[in-house]
């Protein structure tokens, strides 16, 4: 059962559990083996709990995907703007100038995320100390307000990263809980089908089929 798609697996479980409980003939024949109302209700509850966890898992993974996309897009945008601004300033300042050295204009090939964030924070902090340098960016379409926004966006990257990690943890926790509950449900349904095969003969194939048991014709 567990090799099937989740939807097919759950439908298979629903058929076996609810027909074992609600079909009069099946429930009567199952009763001597401990399948009383309490056990049937426990199996139905187990089915519903599994359904709820599957739904919750979809929600958690959607939230993780959204957080991941938000973070990746924000990092990509911040890198593009940072690289664009440093290239623009390179037009005005050669590598050996005081401004270029202070701002690290020619040291912007940063691959790792943590190194980039550190470099970008230091760059914007230093840039704001030099209004005369910021003026050089105006013809390129970068006003003082733009620079302040770019700086804020870089400062917010770690928060977006932390949210991505949180959502990843929530998604991993939920999928583990879902899988554990699905294993429990699979065991309960296997017990129903095992008993069904012992109780009903091929002459009573309709009851086997109601439990989701394939009967050879």
- Each of the 217 residues of the chain gets a pLDDT tens digit; together they read 444 699 999 999 999 999 999 999 999 999 999 999 999 999 999 999 999 999 999 999 999 999 999 999 999 999 999 999 999 999 999 999 999 999 999 986 777 999 999 999 999 999 999 999 999 999 999 999 999 999 999 999 999 999 999 999 999 999 999 999 999 999 999 999 999 999 998 789 999 999 999 887 6
| CB-CB neighbours of 117 under 10 Å | 18
CATH fold, domain 6-210, is: Ferritin (1.20.1260)
pLDDT for res 1: 42
| pTM for the structure as a whole | 0.83
For residues 132 and 127, give the distance between their C-alpha atoms in angstroms, rounded to a whole number.
9
Helices H, strands E: what count in the chain?
9, 0
Nearest to 54 by CA among 189, 184, 178: 178
The residues spanned by each domain of the chain are 6-210
Is residue 207 a contact partner of residue 26, using CB atoms and an 8 Å limit?
Answer: yes
């Amino acid at each position: 059962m567990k090799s099937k798609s989740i939807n097919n697996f759950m439908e298979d479980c629903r058929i076996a559990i609810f027909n074992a409980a609600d079909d009069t003939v099946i429930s009567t024949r199952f009763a001597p083996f401990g399948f009383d109302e309490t056990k049937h209700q426990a199996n139905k509850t187990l089915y519903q709990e599994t359904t709820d966890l599957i739904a919750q898992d979809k929600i958690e993974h959607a939230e993780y995907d959204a957080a991941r996309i938000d973070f990746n897009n924000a990092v990509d945008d911040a890198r593009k703007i940072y690289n664009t601004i440093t290239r623009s300033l390179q037009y005005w300042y050669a590598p050996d100038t005081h401004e270029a050295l202070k701002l690290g204009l020619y040291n912007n090939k940063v691959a790792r995320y943590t190194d980039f964030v550190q470099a970008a924070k230091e760059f914007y902090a230093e840039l704001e100390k030099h209004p005369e340098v910021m003026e050089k960016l105006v013809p390129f379409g970068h006003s003082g307000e733009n620079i302040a926004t770019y700086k804020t966006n870089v400062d917010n990257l770690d928060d977006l990263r932390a949210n991505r990690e949180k959502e990843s943890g929530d998604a991993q926790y939920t999928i583990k809980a879902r899988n554990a509950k699905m294993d429990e449900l699979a065991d309960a349904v296997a017990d129903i089908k095992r008993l069904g095969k012992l109780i009903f003969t091929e002459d009573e194939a309709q009851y086997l089929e109601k439990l989701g048991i394939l009967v050879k014709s």
